[in-house]
Amino acid sequence: MDSIPKYNIRGIDIWGFQRTVELADYLLADGALKTGMLVAINAEKVILAEQDRALCELIQAAKYKYADGVSIVRSIKRKYSDASYLQRIAGIDLWLALMRRAGARGIPVFLVGGEAGVLAKVERKLMTDWGVKIVGSHNGYFKDEERSTLFQLIQKSGAALVTVALGSPKQEIFMRHCQKVYPKALYMGVGGTFDVFSGKVKRAPKAWQHLGLEWLYRILAQPTRLRRVARLFKYACYHYSGRL
């Protein structure tokens, strides 16, 4: 990764991959999927990391941190003159790119998260659309004391790619602990991706995405997200006051 620039926003180092395809190709550049933890960085996660030391440490320990939020991309461009090329890498787009490659190359995949019905739809669609080799799955409803059993299940599956849809910071905590038991995989937190991919939740139209307003669309579609606006406002204050 020596040729990929790194940018620091509020103490978090973020890799400057230009586009989704660039990061997806890099992760498979040597013919085998790299190992480590993939974490999407957006404005809300920056604020959460400042409020939660454990989450901050987990994010810092992640090998691959990429700019998911449009606010993060704008902040990097504001702070660094050589980042004009940078584009947002949406977590769902990166996940789709990796799933296509996993299907084409026979990469074993384990899925964690979502409701049982949603997870079943995701599995069927992945296998039908791209021939993805699903070696195991578990819905997102399990107790803390059941995690060690799930970690062992993932290890025994031999998965090379583990995608975790539990929401932040729960998914980062899960991935970090599972990685200690089974380090031979690439772990990716995917938030609400399973809901979108299964059709349960509608993604923002392309026009909203291009305008950087996907976050607003999600709030309008799911008013329960409104409480998260305070974090976005706090980050905006950092951005416009130059405290990046």
pLDDT in tens, 52-99: 988 899 999 999 999 998 899 999 999 999 998 898 999 999 999 999
Q: At what angle do helices 229-241 and 70-79 cross, to 10 degrees?
A: 10
Q: Where are the domains of the chain?
A: 6-198
How far apart are the C-alpha atoms of 202 and 213, rounded to whole Å? 14
| Token pair of 154 as six digits | 């993932």
In this predicted structure, the answer to whether residue 227 has a pLDDT above a threshold of 80 is no
**What pLDDT shows up at residue 146?**
93
**What pLDDT shows up at residue 2?**
59
**What pLDDT shows up at residue 181?**
97
Residue written as tokens 């230009």? 18
Mean pLDDT of 202-207: 74
pLDDT in tens, 1-22: 558 899 999 999 999 998 999 9
pLDDT in tens, 136-151: 999 999 998 999 999 9
54 vs 121: which has the higher pLDDT: 121
CATH class in words for 6-198: alpha beta
Give per-residue burial for 28-37: e unless 16+ CB within 10 Å, then b: beeeebbbbb
pLDDT in tens, 166-196: 988 899 999 999 999 999 999 999 999 999 9
How far apart are the C-alpha atoms of 231 and 237, rounded to whole Å? 10
How far apart are the C-alpha atoms of 197 and 122, rounded to whole Å? 7
Mean pLDDT of 102-111: 97
Q: Where would I find the H helices in 42-115?
A: 43-51, 53-61, 70-79, 91-105
* % of residues, the chain, pLDDT over 90: 73
